[in-house]
Structure formats: structure tokens, C-alpha cells
A and B are shown apart, each in its own frame.
Chain A
Amino acid sequence: MPTVDVTVEVCGMAGDGTIAAGAMINEALSRGGFSVLGFDSYPAEIRGFGRCVTRSRIGSETIVAMGTDTHVLISLNETEAKSRISFLAPRSVVIFENNPPTYVHHDASFVAELPPDKLLYGMPLSDLAAEAAGTPRGRNLTALGGFAAICGVSPDLFISVVESKFKTKGEKILSSNLKSFEAGYTYALREFSDKKGDAIQFPELPHNDRMVMLSGNQAIGMAALDAGLKLYFGYPITPATPIMEFLASTLPKQGGRVVQMEDEISSIGAVLGSFYAGARSMTATSGPGFSLMTELITHGVMAEIPAVIIDAQRGGPATGLPTKTEQSDLHAAVFGGPGDSARIVIAPTNVSECYHYTIKSFQLAEKYQTPVIVLTDFYLDNRVENLVMPLASEAETRNANVSPTGSEGGNYKRYQITESGISPRSLPGMEGYIFTATGLEHTEKGSPDYSPEVHTAMSEKRHKKIAGALVDLPKPEVFFVEDRLDVGVIGWGSTFGSVLEAVRAVREKGCRVGALKITSLSPLHASLIQEFMERCNKTLIPELNYEGQLANLIGHLHHGSVVRLNLVTGSPFPPSLIIRKIEDLIDRGDI
């Protein structure tokens, strides 16, 4: 069976149906048994103009990262598609509109800029769609028909996707879309028969209907539902809004509520209030919103109230790059806010982890009575992966509140200093368990007290509690275990997929390299990280931020030098850059 590893791009203008076309490619190829990783890029403006690009990396082996090169470009807008030419691999396929409404001068032509090795498949997309369905609106489907015919993808896969997508929208719309697709397929099959075999061909794989396409945001929303979420409070912000949208359409059906608050401060306030009352709740935001939440997050730390906060990072600082990816909130997530406010921060590295770590965050928040921050980023939130539908076990969703035992006998100390730092937490309405919950420093009973002894003891209690959470937090995972490594690459968040692909590629060349995945960023499994670093002649840490925020956190754990590889282009980390850096470190001969 030939292996394929193909990246397909659809590029158009907002309103061209670009994102829908990309989603259908992902779904169809996923049903066709391929591993799929998709990622969209769209303008920050609300709608009406701006470039939209979807990228789908499709492989017969498991895909863990987005590649750099594009092998098939489907252009729905030639002016916008010009920007994608530089990403085209040699002999890549370009499907484009060859009968635009007006003539195009050579100097402005998309096709004129294409290098000569590209395989061109011009199609009268609008005409075909209009002829088939009476409207050119389905030209994105027509282009997909062309793609299927040119690249040897079974049309049945697309037809089944179109049917599932449009069956609820009425026979007319379904039929129109099917006709548009079929028009493109038939045209390309007929017109390009002489080029058969030139283009990349997808082999036939056993179909897999068990796989579902999920984005990071969808996985987080599903996890919250499965965890028994009762209330969601939020304020819209890219890239976190889809979580609220997902929950708005699903949570009420399970008896919960989604409330759009006036801002992020009230959102986190409401989350703390809900958890205080014993109801699982959550909010999701991005950097600018997270910064507004920090004071109340530390209130949760001080008053020991659980909370679950999703920080979906985007390019910053300030409003920054709303629709671009970055990993630059790490410092803010771990340290942000007033005082010594230790908290739990976990960062999933793929869609499956988005699900499982969101589930886990509720138990962690309840058990350790503290805000838990799940740190994702635009790329992870919006990328889609095909995976078996995740399902949490009963143990994963079980209530983890540490409740009073009843033996307190009228002497309930809400903030009792214990060996673990965890104090039994009563909920409102429990008779005899009244206490003061305050953001002021307090005694074991919750009464405000600013004495040095109390502040010292309580600070120690809170920090001990968080340090103790390590037993429940995912350990760093070593890939390619060896006694000595020339280069060890440490990754976190969405970048880890690129790290893994790069390390695999360099190992295939016979180099001694390994990878370490860190998902628990606060507290850190310092000794395990240190152990890995000590086995490496060089430690490389690629991150999507300017100064290397993880490198700042862990660099001191080892006396050897830590090499930072930082990128702030707003795009996912290309594995090729990591490969080049590893090879550069090895070639330099100082390891």
C-alpha cells in the first residue's frame, strides 16, 4: 500500500465557502480511512472580506503536525491565492477558476506567477455550478468535485459528507450542492483524462466510520459536558468563542445554562460563585480577557475556590493578532496576578488531550480547591483531527470535592492547615459549616488576619497544596528513550506535534535525538524534566513566543545550555524549522 502525506489548501475570500470546503475535505478523507489534521486561517474582521485559507494534512500514517509545503492548492479567489504560491511543493496541483467574469492582465494574474513545474487544472467553476444547480454559489463544491477526480478520491466519500451536512437543510439545498459537486467531478474526469496520473493520487484505504473530526474547541466543549458542567459564563473572544457557541447549543439540553456576561471579570466572578455553591462551571477566554480575570483568579487562589478557565492563546500583547496563533500567555497563566498565587496550569498538545485534560481540570479544581487554567492556543483550538470519539470514564468525571467528615463538632475550620494543604470544603447550606470566604488573608476559620505568622503559614499551606497536586498531574512524557542524546527537544502545547515529527525525521537519519512533552506547566515535574535535560548534550526548546517562556521556566533546572527556538509569525511551528535547528546543532560539532 503506497503511503501518502499530502497537504491540501483551499484559499478564497470570506464568503467563497472556503472554510466549508476545507471542512468537507477533512471529513471525506477521514471517512476514507486517512489520518487528517486540518487548520483554518481567516481574517480578524467579522465578515465580508479578507483571505481565508484552510490547510488539511492528510496521511496514510498518523499525522501529528501541520507541514510547510502544500501539494494541492484549490483556489476560489485567484487574487488571494497568490499569497499561497510560495508554499507550493514541486509538481503540486493547482485547481483554479479559468473563466473569471473579466479578463485579467498578465501583471495581475495568479496563473502567471505560478512556477512552471506546477500542474494546472483550470475549471470554469462558476459556470459549472450555475449550469448544474442554477446558481454559482456551489462553486466551492464544484472545486471539490474537481479535486476528487484529479486526485483519485472516491466521489462517494464527498457525497456522503455533503448528504450529512445538508440533509437537514431541505431537499433543494442538498440537491443543489450535490449537483455542484458532481458537475465538477464529471468535468475534471472528462477534461483532464489526458493528465491522469500526473497528479498526486490518494490510495484506497479501508473506510473508517468510527472516526470523528473534532477541533480542540469542540473537544473542550464536549469534555465540559461529559464532566457534568452546570454553568458556563463567558464573553466572546477569538479564539475561545466556539466553546461558548458549542455549549450554548448543547448545555441547555442537559439542564445547564450558558450565560453571556458583560465582560471577562464578571465571567470569572460567576464561575467562582458557581463552584463556591458546588456547581461545576467554566469560562473560556483569550489573552486580553485572561488579563482582566487575573485578580479574581487570585481571589480563587486565596479563598480556595475551584474554577476552570480555558485560556485560548492568540498573538499578543493587548488585542494583538486576534486570528493568529501564539504561545505567549504562559507567564501570565503561571504567574499572572497579584501576590504569590500558585495555581494549576495544564497545556494539552492535541485534540484528544484537550478533551481529557479539560475533564481532568474539574477534578483538579475541586480536589485542590483552586483555579485550574487549561492553556490552549489558536492553532490547537481551531485545528481539527480525526480521532475515535473520546469518552470519559466514570472515574474521570467523578466528583472530587473534599467534604467535611462531620466530626468537626462545631469547630469547622474551612482553611485548616493539614499535611497536604487540602482542607475540607463545605458548601453553602451545610448546617454548622458556616465560614468566611474572603480574598483577604485569613485564619483557618476564614477570619481576616494580616499577621506575619498567619500569612506565612497560609502561604505555605497554599503552595504545599499546589505542589502536592503533582501526583494527579500528567508526567512529562519521553519519546525515544536513550541513555545519552545529542539533542533533546522539549515541547509544550500545540508545538509538541511539530517537535515529535521533527525528532522522528532526524532520528531516521541516524541521529541520537529525543523529545520530551510537558503538559503540566504549574506545578512542574521539575525532577523528571531535569533528569531528561541531564541526558542531553543540548536541550532545544521551540516555542511560539518571542523570548522563550518555557525556557525561562525550566532553563535553570540544568547547568547545560538551553537553546531557544522562537517564532512569532502567527502560524503553527513548522517541523522543518526544528529539523534544521537540530541538524545545525549536531553539525556544529560542539555536542
Chain B
Amino acid sequence: MARERCVIIGNGPAANAAAVALRQETSELDIMMIGEETFPHYRPHLLPAYVAGAISKEDLFVTPPSFYEKCNIRIRLGQRVVQVKLDQRELVLSHKEIVPFDALIIACGGRQRIPERLQIFEELLLTLKTPADAQRWIEGLKSAETILIVGGDLTSLSFATAIASAGKRVTFMLEEESFWPLPLSRDLADDVKQRLTRKGVEIIEASCIKRLTRKSEDVIEVDTDTGLIASNLVGAFYGLIPNVKFLVRSGLDVERGVLVDENLRTRFDLVYAAGDCAQIYHPELRDYWVSIGYRNAMEQGKIAAQNLSGGMISIAAPPASIFCAEGVMVNTSWWMEF
């Protein structure tokens, strides 16, 4: 008789924590992780340091391939789930492979958010979510002298200071109102600006980008409400959005992310969601909240696995760290000094 199979969609902190916790619970289960990125599990918050040359590429990665082999966890990278058929308990991959499952943990994380108004200029913008993005920055920075950062999120702060310390001229167009994951208060914005300025980053006052134009091979012109800015590279940092588009017709309740209860269960038996892609019910708030950050994701992955194995653990959501951003409750554990 075939062993029961749990498929984990994703290869980030939530997915890896779930896989490890599941294996600790049982050796009988066939555990398969399917990740869209080609890279093994890495620490995204170290990407700015990697781009700035402060750490090596190897330092980014958490788990060597031998670990999965040792734990008898099957990991599939660079493969994309395009459909989840919950009634048939099957996944469909982009190359038309059908993968049956008995249990499912959705931990597919988030993807870089580019505001709709800027999407037509996307090819002129660099983001920083994956090691591939980091590689593009590294290549670009070899010849670039001036870098413009637009938007603002937690990664952008450490990134701006990291490349400024590497000798580049960094200009930051801080969009306080659309700072991610939550708009900056006046006091907090002032504090952020002061800290950035002290680290050699120039802050410019502009609130809106009208147009981006490539003026030459290495110059991009940014038309803002306060004037034109020319830069060699332009980085867009507008945070993440849950990567759940492929789940829309799955029958799962999907809003901003996959809706789950405080035990991370979806409304389908043995189907859980964890990490950046989950929107978790908070009984006290009587609302769903999303979480960001490496530590939150790991914790949720672990709890999803434990609950899948018969546990009934609720996600702890300390009220003090929950913020309201754009009408969504956000719990962030990723805030750090910069």
C-alpha cells in the first residue's frame, strides 16, 4: 500500500519548518515540498548584505541539500503549482504533472508588490526578493554610481544603507503613506529619515512617480511630482503580496491570502496554510490578520505541521505587535535595526 503523502507548496521558512516538524512527528509520511524558486531555502532578510558584498552567497542558504535526503523529505525546486483540485485531492504543476496528496500545507509565501500605476514600467525597476534579484543588483551595481530607491518597506531600509556604505550614491524617495507593511506615522517617518541620512542616504521629498523613461543604456529618468531624477538603477520596494493567485478557483476561501482559523486550518480537511500567504483568524479581533517576517512564518509552518499531525495549537498573536495597515491587521516580526 502506498504511503500517505503530504505536499507542502513552498520552500520558504514556513514550508521548511512545516516539513521538519512533520518529519519529527512521523517517519511514515511521504513529504514532498514543491517550490517555485530554483534556490534552496534561503534567508531573504540577508539579501541586502549579500548585494553589498558583506556576506557570501553561501551565507544566504539555510539548509544543505543533504539535509532533505537525511530527513527523507522530497524537495522539488523550480516547479510551479498552477492548480489545486481539492475535491480530487490533486495538484497540477505547470508542466501538466498531476500530484495526488492526502494532506496539504500551503506555504507559498509572497511575491514582490509593484503598485498598479508602476506596472507598465516594471522592466525598468529592480526588486529584491530572491537571490536571482540580488544577482541582478550585483550585476547592475558593477557599473552603476547612482541608485534611486522608491516606495519603502523593511527591506529597503537595510538595502539603502548597505549599498550606501558600499560607496554608491543612494537617493530614497520615501513614500510614507504607502510604506509597507504599514504607513509610517509622522514621528516614525522622521526617525527613519534621520537614520537613513546619517548612513549617507539622500532623502527626497516627492510623493508620486508619473513616468519612468530609459534615457540611455545606463540612465533611467524618473518623472515625479517634484521634478526629474536621473539614476543608473531604480529599485522598487513596495513590500509583498501573498502569492495565492493560483488558488482562486480551488474552492479555498481566498481574500488577501488563504483564510485559515487560528489553528491554520482551511475549511478543507487536512489542508492548512501558513506564512506570508495565510490570513489568520484572530478570535479577539474577530478579524483575519496577515503576518510577515521570517520568524512568524517559521512558527506558523511548525504549528500547521503539528496540527496536521493531530495537535490543536493556536497561533499566538501578541496584540502589541499587530498593526492596522490599509485595513488589514498585520503582525510583523521582521522589524529590525538598520
Residues of A at the B interface (CB closer than 8 Å) are 96-100, 102-106, 109, 111-112, 114, 116-120, 122, 194-198
Contacts and interface: CB of A to CB of B under 8 A. Distances in A.
Contacts of A197: 132, 135, 139
A114 B75 CA distance: 10
Contacts of B97: 103-106, 109, 111-112
A104 B38 contact: no
Contacts of A100: 95-96
A550 B1 CA distance: 53
A99 B76 contact: no
B98 A112 contact: no
B317 interface: no
Contacts of B139: 197
Given A116-B68, A116-B76, A117-B65, A195 B38 contact: yes
Contacts of B79: 111, 120
A353 B202 CA distance: 69
16 contacts: A98-B95, A99-B95, A99-B96, A104-B95, A106-B97, A106-B99, A109-B95, A111-B76, A114-B76, A116-B40, A116-B77, A117-B40, A117-B77, A119-B38, A120-B79, A197-B132
B135 A120 contact: no
B94 A122 contact: yes
The 8 closest A-B pairs by CB, nearest first: A98-B95, A120-B78, A109-B97, A116-B75, A106-B99, A116-B77, A122-B95, A103-B96
B96 A198 contact: no
Contacts of A106: 97-100
B92 interface: yes
A291 to B, nearest CB: 49
Interface string B55-87: 000000000010010000001111100000000
A448 to B, nearest CB: 75
Contacts of B68: 116
Interface in B124-143: 132, 135-136, 139
Contacts of A96: 95
A194 B132 CA distance: 7
Nearest to A98: B95
B93 interface: yes
Given A112-B99, A118-B78, 8 more contacts: A103-B97, A106-B100, A109-B97, A111-B93, A111-B95, A116-B65, A122-B95, A194-B132
Bin the interface of chain B by size.
20 to 34
B96 A98 contact: yes
Contacts of B135: 197
Contacts of A104: 95-98
Contacts of A116: 40, 65, 68, 75-77
A162 to B, nearest CB: 27
Contacts of B94: 98, 122
Contacts of B132: 194-195, 197-198
A126 B94 CA distance: 15
Contact of B96 (A102, A118, A195): A102
Contacts of B77: 116-117, 120
Given A111-B93, A198-B132, A103 B98 contact: yes
Contacts of B40: 116-117
Interface string B265-295: 0000000000000000000000000000000
Nearest to A117: B65
Contacts of A195: 38, 132
Contacts of A99: 95-96
B96 A119 contact: no
A109 B96 CA distance: 9
B32 to A, nearest CB: 9
Nearest to A99: B96
Contacts of A98: 94-96
A190 to B, nearest CB: 11
Contacts of A194: 132
Interface string B220-231: 000000000000
Contact of B98 (A97, A105, A119, A196): A105
A117 B37 CA distance: 11
B95 to A, nearest CB: 4
Nearest to B90: A106
A196 B131 CA distance: 12
A195 B40 CA distance: 14
Nearest to A109: B97
Interface string B164-197: 0000000000000000000000000000000000
